Chain A
Amino acid sequence: MSAAPLLALDAVSKRFVRRLDAAEKIVNLFGGNRREEVVHAVDNVSLQIAEGEVVGLVGESGCGKSTLGRVVAGVHAASSGRVLWRGRDIDSLSGAERREATLKIQMIFQDPMSSLNPRMRVRDIVGEAPRVHGLVSSGEVADYVDRMLLRVGLDPSYKSRYPHQFSGGQRQRIGIARALAVQPDFLVCDESIAALDVSIQAQVLNLFMDLREDLGLTYLFISHDLGVVEHLADRVVIMYLGRVVESAPAAELFADPNHPYARALLEEVPRIDTRKRVFQPVKGEIPSPLAPPTGCHFHPRCPHAMPRCREEAPALREIAPGRVSACHLNEA
């Protein structure tokens, strides 16, 4: 992992602001106290992903992992910070280079129903982008779509059908074929198997791994399912309320989690040998991202919280080669 990273995030933040409407501005004129509501969905995240790596991004719902995936895929623009593709800031690129970088990063979505346009036939869903971008000539689009469908394990004779005529797993394969059709190097999988049956989940996971071998793809695999991530990822990044709290090689993390949140999270992975164990849920609710706790975001729920945790946000520190964690305990 010493080579220049394929994709790097440099202090990326994404804020969602609900601006005041006219009525609230008038209220403020008369001494009201309405403020803009700001959600720091992604807060100052830096991340490097090397070519060929599979990075698992985990966290509770609402921790900003999907938003981070969308920033990487270019669906949302970052509020601050830079997204670097092969060492170059995507925002600074223009024209053909920018298009190239955009196409090289593709996204596989969670909901296989709403991620396919219900009014388009499969051949148009898969074939539209390569045709528009001139990746294939219009005469070859039909053949090209057939190849893409075969690659994801679908029968090309289905290509005149509409998405609603397929099952969930098949629809997800269509979504994958659509992404592959623009010849990406990097796939962001946003809970891509969460909406599928368990048996279908395994098939789609295997498809992801086959594609990785055949096409040399790099993955950012966003999931709340730690079992899947353990099986799949080389490295795992754990997010809590918009911040990265720990990043480590998968085997090390699962063997010995460092951050208290990571530990709490991993204890809840169901395992066959711990079937009789009593579950200890992480205590408390995930705080509102509108008003995150001061200092370390995790301190209200942390069993090891110290007074310092309330005041000072811990920085990510290297605790072992290739392994970082953000906790004050590591300094003690």
Chain B
Amino acid sequence: MASTETPAGGAAPVRPALDTPFRRFLSDFTDSRLAVLAAILLVTIIILAVFAPWLAPQNPYDLAVVSIFDARLPPGSQSMDGVTFWLGTDGAGRDLLSAIIYGLRISLSVGVASAIIALTVGMIVGLLAAYAGGRIEGLIMRIVDIQLSLPAVLIALILLAILGKGIDKIIIALVIAQWAYYARTVRASALVERRREYVEAAACLGLSHARIVFRHILPNCIAPLIVVGTVQTAHAIALEATLSFLGVGLPQTEPSLGLLISNGFEYMLSGKYWIAVFPGVALLITIVTINIVGDQLRDVLNPRLQK
């Protein structure tokens, strides 16, 4: 960060013990109340998703618990066993609150898993392009350009039509639709870093190419990657919801948020709004919070945007 620079020629600054990079990051991050609120919400959502079996009122996948006689009950009504459905039930009689929590679990894990895999793939490809240069770089970046010029939904739709349904298939489709963003981001920062003198020094010291790329250049390209990773996770979740809504994503038995919305959509015109609206609101909150956190991360981690 720019603020940490000391004037050349001065004595070594004695830093207060508290002023670690992490603390500085934390105090920068908490500058925005909205971002703090979003971060708290996001953590809550993640906890809900991770501990769904213990937090949800009902296991919506357990056919012994779900009763078709409770189908399409409005919010706040009670089941035949006296359980309150705070957000109502869906067409199959599942408690909507539980279905949303379990759906979050699927949506988030698909989003995070595909983001991590796409990040790894894109990172390696982008680093290779920036470090190798020349024809290899030209070839890789043209593939990236072509990839980015096609809508992600279209690529994913085609892939899923070929691959079929299932969580693993949708993760593969999302990775293929998204790796190019990471490749481009990493290449951009790696191009800057590889011209720095410390990279020349490493070459002078006879260090191997792999060591220079992964131990010297990569750690200096991490910040933009984290930011793009956060935002792309939100995109992956939205994309998965879109695909599920279109009916090519996940199987009916374990619905993600997108599939819940899709299932509820048919009841919208008959006035049973809750079946589609509540999962939609959950999806909206998830994506918006991730994006706000990602934006704030970008502001904090990019020294050029600092005031």
Contacts and interface: CB of A to CB of B under 8 A. Distances in A.
B127 to A, nearest CB: 15
Nearest to B196: A114
Interface in A69-125: 70, 73-75, 99, 102-103, 105-107, 109-120
A86 B15 CA distance: 47
A142 interface: no
A210 to B, nearest CB: 20
A73 B211 CA distance: 19
A111 B200 CA distance: 12
Of B5, B6, B201, the most chain A CB neighbours within 10 A belong to B201
B206 A99 contact: yes
Contacts of B205: 103, 106, 128-129, 178, 182
A168 B9 contact: yes
B12 A168 contact: no
A75 B216 contact: no
B131 to A, nearest CB: 15
Given A133-B206, A168-B8, A182-B205, A70 B220 contact: no
A2 interface: no
Nearest to A119: B219
Given A132-B211, A164-B4, A114 B9 contact: no
Nearest to B14: A165
Contacts of A175: 201
Nearest to A70: B200
B103 to A, nearest CB: 39
Contacts of B208: 132
Given A99-B206, A117-B220, A119-B220, A165 B15 contact: yes
Interface string B4-24: 111111111101000000000
B201 A109 contact: yes
Nearest to A199: B9
Given A133-B206, A165-B4, A165-B13, 10 more contacts: A106-B205, A109-B197, A117-B202, A120-B219, A129-B206, A132-B207, A167-B10, A168-B7, A168-B9, A182-B205
A170 B9 CA distance: 8
A266 interface: no
A313 interface: no
Instruction: Give chain A's interface residue range (CB within 8 Å of chain B).
Output: 35 or more
A111 B197 contact: yes
B203 interface: yes
A195 interface: yes
A165 B12 contact: yes
B198 interface: yes
Contact of B204 (A73, A110, A112, A114): A73
Given A110-B197, A114-B197, A115-B198, A74 B203 contact: yes
A129 B9 CA distance: 27
Nearest to A133: B206
Interface in B186-218: 196-198, 200-208, 211, 215-216
Contacts of A112: 8
A52 interface: no
A16 interface: no
Nearest to A125: B198
A37 to B, nearest CB: 17
Nearest to A163: B198
Range of interface residues on B (Cβ < 8 Å):
20 to 34
A114 to B, nearest CB: 5
A117 B9 contact: no
8 contacts: A75-B204, A109-B200, A109-B201, A114-B198, A119-B219, A165-B12, A167-B6, A197-B8
A170 B197 contact: no
Contacts of A170: 12
Given A107-B200, A178-B201, A178-B205, A167 B7 contact: yes
B304 to A, nearest CB: 15
B39 to A, nearest CB: 25
Nearest to A158: B12
A209 interface: no
Contact of B197 (A115, A165, A168, A200): A115
A115 B198 CA distance: 4
Interface in B12-56: 12-13, 15
B197 A129 contact: no
Nearest to B208: A132
Contacts of B211: 132
A85 to B, nearest CB: 14
A61 to B, nearest CB: 16
Interface string A238-257: 00000000000000000000
Contacts of A156: none
Contacts of B200: 70, 75, 107, 109, 115
A111 B203 CA distance: 17
Contacts of B202: 117
Contacts of A105: 204
Nearest to B21: A162
B190 to A, nearest CB: 14
Interface in A160-218: 164-170, 175, 178-179, 182, 195-197, 199-200
Contacts of B219: 117, 119-120
B206 A182 contact: yes
B9 A196 contact: yes
Contact of B6 (A103, A164, A199): A164
